[in-house]
Amino acid sequence: MAEFLDMGGYGFYIWGSYLVTGVLMVLEVILVRRRRSQLKRRLDRMGRMQSHEEETRLDHEIET
């Protein structure tokens, strides 16, 4: 195992390459997923505001 990690003395360069590549690829996916969940929350809020506006408009119409 230690021999595998050492990579004939090039371990730092090889794992430094693979680790950063892996982290960036995973990070990109996390960022896209976060963007989607934030977007969903915003759209949900937009939906609630609209239905609330509609209700108050209907209330107003009924009252007058």
Partner 1 sequence: MAINWYKFASPASFYPLAGRLVPWFWILAAVLIVIGLYLGFVVAPTDYKQGEAYRIMFIHVPAAWMSMFIYIVMAIYAGLALVLKTRLSTMMATALAPTGAMFTFVALWTGAFWGKPMWGAWWVWDARLTSELILLFLYIGYMSLYAAIDDPRRAARASGLLAIVGAVNVPIIYFSVKWWNTLHQGASISFGQAPTMAATMLAAMGIMALGFWMYTIAVVLMRVRCEILERERHSDWVQEMVSRGTYG
d(Cα 18, Cα 27) in Å, to the nearest integer?
Answer: 14
Quick one: 36 or 57, whose CB is closer to partner 1? 36
Q: Is residue 41 at the binding interface for partner 1, with CB under 8 A as the rule?
A: no
Q: Is residue 20 at the binding interface for partner 1, with CB under 8 A as the rule?
A: yes
Of 2, 25, 62, 63, the one binding partner 1 by CB under 8 A: 25
Q: Is residue 14 at the binding interface for partner 1, with CB under 8 A as the rule?
A: yes
Ramachandran angles phi, psi of 29, nearest 5°:
-65, -40
| Total interface residues for partner 1 by CB under 8 A | 27
Q: For residue 25, give both structure tokens.
A: 């690829």
SS3 28: helix
